[in-house]
């Protein structure tokens, strides 16, 4: 199963990504957790505190696999071994940090983009593991082909008009790219009225509503070396995804 998680910053999508990765791993699945968010917080939420080098910074490897120094580069390099060699293992989860996609107008960065997208293509199309991608508010890492291989995109929202409008934009981009199934997780619900409003706005797209949790905020302020607590609804979302 290939799962992309997106949403406006601060909605809790990285917590959701980490919680799902842990839940799948605890239930016996082999899991890759991919940080494709420019803010790059997924490692810390998973409890990985040693520095993890972004794949896009592996200049020598990119030159070896993709080329580009002479103005010519390979669009589909072989990167299958990269997934095992350059991932970090933690609690049964293999973690990869992608790094930011470079500006399309910068010709010298095309090899890096080609390399990142080849890594994602390999994860989506040639691997049997569960892949969970923390995408940030955009989907720039996904090409049309890669997006078509994603089983479901989960968009995280808060019970605010701005957050739900952002979700509509993300949904539109994802559908244009070819993502087949899109569901929404509403987070930080504080009242029955908020729950009703969100349910009315999102309808069948809503896969879970999660109550506001003070402990998540408290632990986020804690400087201790413990991984963040899981999202309360992760088990329910896991069962819903597996049943589909």
pTM for the full predicted model = 0.86
Looking up tokens 């981009």 gives 173
Q: What angle do CA 171, 173, 176 make, to 5 degrees?
A: 105
Number of structural domains the chain divides into: 1
Residue of higher predicted confidence among 139 and 192: 192
Q: Report the CATH number at residue 24.
A: 3.40.50.300
The pLDDT-based confidence of 77 (bands split at 50, 70, 90) is low
* Domain of 72, in residue numbers: 2-243
Q: What is the mean pLDDT of residues 129-151?
A: 87
Q: What is the mean pLDDT of residues 91-115?
A: 74
Whether the predicted pLDDT of 239 surpasses 70: yes
Q: What is the mean pLDDT of residues 172-180?
A: 89
Q: What is the pLDDT of residues 19-28, one digit of tens each?
A: 999 999 999 9
Q: What is the pLDDT of residues 110-129, one digit of tens each?
A: 788 888 888 898 999 988 99
Whether the predicted pLDDT of 229 surpasses 70: no
The pLDDT-based confidence of 221 (bands split at 50, 70, 90) is very low
Whether the predicted pLDDT of 208 surpasses 80: yes
The pLDDT-based confidence of 30 (bands split at 50, 70, 90) is very high
- What is the pLDDT of the chain when averaged over all its residues? 84
Q: Which residues of 121-159 are buried (b: 16+ CB within 10 A; e: fewer)?
A: bbbbeeeebbbbbbbbbebbbbbeebbebbbbbbbbbbb
CA distances from 112 to 67, 75, 176, 233 (A): 10, 10, 24, 37
Task: Please tell me the distance from the alpha carbon of residue 116 to that of residue 215, in angstroms, as a whole number.
Answer: 35
The pLDDT-based confidence of 99 (bands split at 50, 70, 90) is confident
Point out the least confidently predicted range of 122-131, 171-180, 221-230: 221-230
Point out the least confidently predicted range of 66-80, 89-103, 171-185: 66-80
Question: CB–CB of 238/56 below 8 Å?
Answer: no
């Amino acid at each position: 199963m290939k799962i992309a998680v997106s949403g406006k910053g601060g909605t809790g999508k990285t917590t959701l990504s980490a919680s799902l990765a842990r839940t799948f791993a605890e239930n016996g699945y082999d899991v890759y957790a991919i940080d494709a968010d420019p803010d790059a917080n997924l490692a810390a939420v998973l409890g990985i505190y040693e520095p993890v080098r972004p794949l896009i910074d592996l200049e020598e490897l990119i030159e070896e696999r993709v080329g580009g120094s002479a103005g010519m580069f390979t669009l589909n390099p072989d990167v299958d071994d990269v997934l095992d060699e350059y991932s970090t293992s933690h609690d049964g989860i293999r973690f990869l940090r992608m790094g930011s996609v470079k500006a399309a107008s910068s010709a010298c960065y095309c090899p890096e983009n080609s390399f990142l997208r080849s890594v994602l293509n390999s994860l989506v199309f040639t691997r049997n593991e569960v892949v969970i991608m923390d995408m940030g508010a955009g989907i720039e890492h996904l090409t049309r082909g890669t997006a078509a291989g994603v089983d479901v995109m989960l968009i995280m929202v808060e019970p605010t008009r701005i957050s739900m409008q952002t979700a509509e934009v993300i949904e539109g981009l994802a559908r244009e790219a070819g993502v087949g199934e899109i569901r929404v997780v509403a987070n930080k619900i504080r009242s029955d009225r908020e729950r009703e409003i969100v349910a009315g706005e999102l309808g069948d797209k809503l896969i879970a509503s999660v109550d506001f949790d003070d402990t998540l905020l408290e632990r986020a302020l804690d400087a201790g070396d413990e991984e963040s607590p899981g999202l309360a609804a992760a088990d329910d979302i896991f069962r819903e995804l597996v049943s589909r």
